[in-house]
Structure 1
Amino acid sequence: MLKFTRRSLLIAVPLLAAGCTTTTSPRTRTVKPLIPDEYVAMYGAVDGEAFPVAATDLTRVEPQFLRRDVAYPTDQPPGTIVVDTEARYLYLVRENGRALRYGIGVGKAGLEFEGEAVVQYKRQWPRWTPTQAMIAREPERYGPLAAGMEPGVMNPLGPRALYLFKDGKDTLYRIHGTTEAWTIGKAVSSGCIRLLNQDIIDLYRRVPNGSRVVVLQGGNANSRQLPQV
């Protein structure tokens, strides 16, 4: 027959209590945000592409930068692309005061395009060639790529690109995809507008060649129409 002393009971109680608690400190516990099923589906892997398009890791994207239909009162006609670099949004203007809003990453300070342009042409899985200015700034990084990079999952333009021209001349400014989800909502690229790959595929199929593009910078606050979700 087992005998319990007062000392053995005092030792056992803390051990039993410890079995009912977690050993993980609240400060080290990682809690992933709850992502609605519609966005999980929207940003899932894309089938039927020339190269794999993986699902986007939505835990690395701020929720406000996910694609959605919003109220957008503007005098721009439907079909116009409006890029608000300061707010980090691209709007595709639709009928009845609405727009499709996409989160974007934009160019570093001093490298952004501003004004009006047109989508001269579009490309699926485009080649990428660094500009002469990029090669001059970072020859070790971009010099070996002067002849261009073949399409594929490592190509910085991603699965789609829209090429912007102004007055018949190439601005060297592109709207394109990215696999770096964490860059959406930030100023990180060398001047171009980047969208999540699923978003650029969606935008690509909605806009024809010749579509008008208006790029707003911070100084254009008076011409910016602030949307309401």
Structure 2
Amino acid sequence: MPNLTHDQELTVQFRPSRLLALPAGVFLAACGDKPVSRAAPQPYDAVQDGEILIPPVDPKYLRGTMARAEVDYAGPEAPDTIVVDTFARRLYYVLEGGRAIRYAIAVGREGLAFHGSAHVGRKAEWPSWTPTANMLRTQGEIYRDYAGGMPGGLYNPLGARALYLYRGGRDTYFRIHGTADDTSIGRATSAGCIRLFNQDAIELFNRATIGTEVKSRTLEESIALEGAKMDDADGYPVPFVPGADLAADPAPDQAAQG
């Protein structure tokens, strides 16, 4: 993935306005003595992860099939494979016996999504992040305070966990990672990386191993297994309505080609 695209991914996630836009409950949960789950399903309650308290996911972001679930799986992939469906905005971790864990994800905007295959080359808990030279040169007013690196933390762009995708022994600059921006999950809002709720990023991190294969579905594969999709007014995928324009399979970007 070219550095510029990677920079755009991080710019989308890490802006002061992002923090201001987060629900007040996020900050209250982060500093309160007794976190309140706000009736979120148990997997999305507040999580004390070492010294960091991850706030609960607001139930309004868990509508439909947005919550993690073990489901029947009809795809051809072997167990211990991560399957990314950028069209349905779902990620599957394949289990034995025709089953899989399904997660909701945020993906890249058209033309910027992960394509092809890769493998997990590195894993990190609360990964640190350092802006690139290009980010410092072009957006120094935002990133200069982090020139020496940004320690892992709740509002670090990579969230609670990160899986680093490699191909042919080289980093693709694509990541599967957590995010504090729960509003983005289920939408095509990033510049290429694959985001999950922090609670889901931790769960997937615990399942995947170094060497786990990661595959991206084509549009044809997605339609065959998930049905045709289109975006609703809020940017979430819904069943395709005849007469509407179905998005074409975006062309692989440079990183996806190797």
Q: TM-score, normalised by structure 2?
A: 0.66
User: Hey, what does 1:226 align to over in structure 2?
Assistant: 225
For 2:123 and 2:199, the matched residues in 1 are separated by: 16
Q: Which amino acid aligns with 1:190?
A: A
Which runs of no fewer than 5 residues in structure 2 stay unpaired?
A: 1-38, 228-258
For 1:176 and 1:214, the matched residues in 2 are separated by: 16
User: Hey, what does 1:66 align to over in structure 2?
Assistant: 67
User: Hey, what does 2:110 align to over in structure 1?
Assistant: 109
For 1:133 and 1:97, the matched residues in 2 are separated by: 45
User: Hey, what does 1:53 align to over in structure 2?
Assistant: 54
Instruction: Answer whether contact 1:61 1:184 (CA < 8 A) is retained.
Output: no
Q: Which amino acid aligns with 1:52?
A: L
Residue 112 of structure 1: how far off its partner (Å): 1.9
Specify whether residues 134 and 91 from structure 1 end up closer, same or farther in structure 2 by C-alpha distance, changes over 3 A only: farther
Residue 91 of structure 1: how far off its partner (Å): 0.4
User: Hey, what does 2:254 align to over in structure 1?
Assistant: none
Residues 37-91 of structure 1 deviation map (CA, whole Å, 9 limit, x = unaligned): 7x52110011242311111112134332110111211211001000001110000
User: Hey, what does 2:150 align to over in structure 1?
Assistant: 149
Instruction: Answer whether contact 2:119 2:165 (CA < 8 A) is retained.
Output: yes
Q: Which amino acid aligns with 1:127?
A: S
Specify whether residues 138 and 85 from structure 1 end up closer, same or farther in structure 2 by C-alpha distance, changes over 3 A only: farther
SS of the residue corresponding to residue 172 of structure 1 reads strand
For 1:61 and 1:122, the matched residues in 2 are separated by: 26
Residue 139 of structure 1: how far off its partner (Å): 5.2
Instruction: Answer whether contact 2:163 2:175 (CA < 8 A) is retained.
Output: yes
Instruction: Answer whether contact 1:120 1:165 (CA < 8 A) is retained.
Output: yes
User: Hey, what does 2:93 align to over in structure 1?
Assistant: 92
For 1:128 and 1:143, the matched residues in 2 are separated by: 13
What are the residue-to-residue correspondences of 1:6-85 with 2, within 5 Å? 40-85=41-86
Q: Which amino acid aligns with 1:195?
A: L
Aligned length: 188
Residue 138 of structure 1: how far off its partner (Å): 4.8
Instruction: Answer whether contact 2:84 2:214 (CA < 8 A) is retained.
Output: yes
Larger radius of gyration: 1
Residues 108-150 of structure 1 deviation map (CA, whole Å, 9 limit, x = unaligned): 2232221110100100010023455656775544455444311
Specify whether residues 206 and 69 from structure 1 end up closer, same or farther in structure 2 by C-alpha distance, changes over 3 A only: same
For 1:108 and 1:146, the matched residues in 2 are separated by: 27
User: Hey, what does 1:193 align to over in structure 2?
Assistant: 194
Q: CA RMSD in A?
A: 2.2
For 1:113 and 1:96, the matched residues in 2 are separated by: 27
Residues 160-208 of structure 1 deviation map (CA, whole Å, 9 limit, x = unaligned): 1000001111011110001211111111122110000110110011111
SS of the residue corresponding to residue 96 of structure 2 reads coil
Instruction: Answer whether contact 1:70 1:227 (CA < 8 A) is retained.
Output: no
Specify whether residues 170 and 132 from structure 1 end up closer, same or farther in structure 2 by C-alpha distance, changes over 3 A only: farther
Specify whether residues 133 and 173 from structure 1 end up closer, same or farther in structure 2 by C-alpha distance, changes over 3 A only: farther
Q: Which amino acid aligns with 1:85?
A: T
